[in-house]
Amino acid sequence: MNQEKIGKFIAECRKEKNLTQLQLAEKLNISNRAVSKWETGKSCPDVSIMMELCDILGINVNELLAGERIIMENYQKKAEQNLVELQKQKEQANKMKRKLEILWGVIAIILCPVHLAINYFYPENQGTYIGWVILIIGAFLFVPYFLKYYKVEIKLK
């Protein structure tokens, strides 16, 4: 999905309906700055208001996501392209999430030896509980990662 193309299309449809950015924003209960960001391609409308936006502009969601009017002969093809593009974006988000989970897992694994080293090399810190704080933080980071990675389900009753 091309945000700039979508933004230009929103602006075009808004102007066809003789609406200002402020008027469109008021109908959607959002700020006119949000509409401006859409139209400049800096962001896209939130999914929660897409249907209402489409109703106001007299378009459908596939046209909005394509950033252009769709002729009925091309409608199915465009719809499939939009679904594939949304799926790709979802997969990219999941990959990023997995990378973050791995990073947190590594950090958690590293924090345990740090705790032991602090207590070994600085025994005067044992009364300050710094090592315990590090260990608890590591456990909070590692346990959810471990449970999710190994697909362990905890059933609470």
Per-residue pLDDT, averaged over 99-119, amounts to: 75
Torsion, Cα 48 69 78 20, to 10 degrees, reads -20
| pLDDT, position 127 | 64
Rounded distance, CA 34 to CA 20, Å?
13
Q: Kindly indicate the confidence band of residue 114, based on its pLDDT and cuts at 50, 70 and 90.
A: confident
Rounded distance, CA 133 to CA 44, Å?
41
56 touches 49 (CB < 8 A): no
Per-residue pLDDT, averaged over 35-56, amounts to: 89
Instruction: Give the pair of three-digit tokens for residue 44.
Output: 């896209």
Q: How many residues does the chain have?
A: 157
**What's this model's pTM, rounded to 2 decimal places?**
0.52
Rounded distance, CA 9 to CA 63, Å?
9
pLDDT > 70: what percent of the chain? 79
pLDDT > 90: what percent of the chain? 21
* pLDDT reading at 153 higher than 70: no
H-state helical runs in the chain: 3-16, 21-28, 32-39, 47-57, 61-66, 72-121, 130-149
| pLDDT, position 154 | 57
Tell me the chain's radius of gyration from C-alpha atoms.
25
62 touches 79 (CB < 8 A): yes
